[in-house]
Each structure stands twice: as structure tokens, then as C-alpha cells.
Copies of this chain bind each other. A is one copy, B any other.
Amino acid sequence: MDPDSVAKAFVEHYYSTFDANRPGLANLYQDSSMLTFEGQKIQGTQAITAKLNSLPFQQCQHTISTVDCQPSGTGGMLVFVSGNLQLSGEQHALKFSQMFHLMPTPQGSFYVQNDIFRLNYA
């Protein structure tokens, strides 16, 4: 599979898991993983999933606008996403940008080494 296809497949998997089964995101992180969420720095699978599961909304729907990817030069892959986040009961979707640094696992899959999320305020 070419990198762009891997990136798109990852992004679809990530956000569909986020929207339908948020605790399942734990499988995508490891203890070395880092998340910066709206400027807050969090490290490790347990702390990251606790943060994601504690966000002050239960139901949401991500819609992806763009996915860009590049090899990171170290066997990994950088994935840059922009999109919309619709929260249940809210009239307007929020715009967001997010980047992932995916690193290969021995099993031939990828995990998220780096994750930076920002809402794009209008």
C-alpha cells in the first residue's frame, strides 16, 4: 500500500473509532505516545485515553476535509488532517486541525507516537 492510502485508512479508522467507540482508541497509542490537546501535554496510553474519554461531549461526528502525509525520514509517517467536528446538539460544527506521527509496530501495523490537536477558531 502506498503511504497516502495508509494515511487515509488510518484517518478513517481513527475518527470512526473516536465517534463510535472512543475507548477503542487505546489500541492506537503506546506508553511513549504523546498527545498535545489544545495546548495540554499528555503522555502514555492510559493518560491519553483518559483525556479523550473525559472530553465534555459524548456524541460527536468528525468529517475529514483534507489528509496530507509524508514519510518522517525515520520509518514513520506524518499525517496532517483538517476537518469538522460536529457535537451532538450544537448547531455549528467546529473546525479542527490535527497531526499524527505514526510509527511502525513489529506486527506491520502503526501506532501513534505523536498527536497534536487544535481547534481552528474563526
Contact = CB atoms under 8 A, between A and B. Distances in A.
A36 B113 CA distance: 21
Prevailing SS type, chain A contact patch: strand
Given A68-B39, A116-B68, A116-B70, A101 B122 contact: no
Copy tally for this chain in the complex stands at 2
Interface in A69-102: 69-74, 76, 78, 80, 82, 95, 97, 99, 101
A120 B98 CA distance: 12
A118 interface: yes
Given A39-B66, A118-B82, A72 B97 contact: no
Contacts of A36: 68-70, 80
A77 to B, nearest CB: 10
Contact of A118 (B72, B97, B121, B122): B97
Contact of A70 (B34, B65, B72, B82): B34
A38 to B, nearest CB: 9
A120 B120 contact: yes
Kindly list the 4 A-B residue pairs having the minimum CB-CB distance in the complex, ordered from nearest: A74-B74, A97-B97, A80-B116, A36-B68
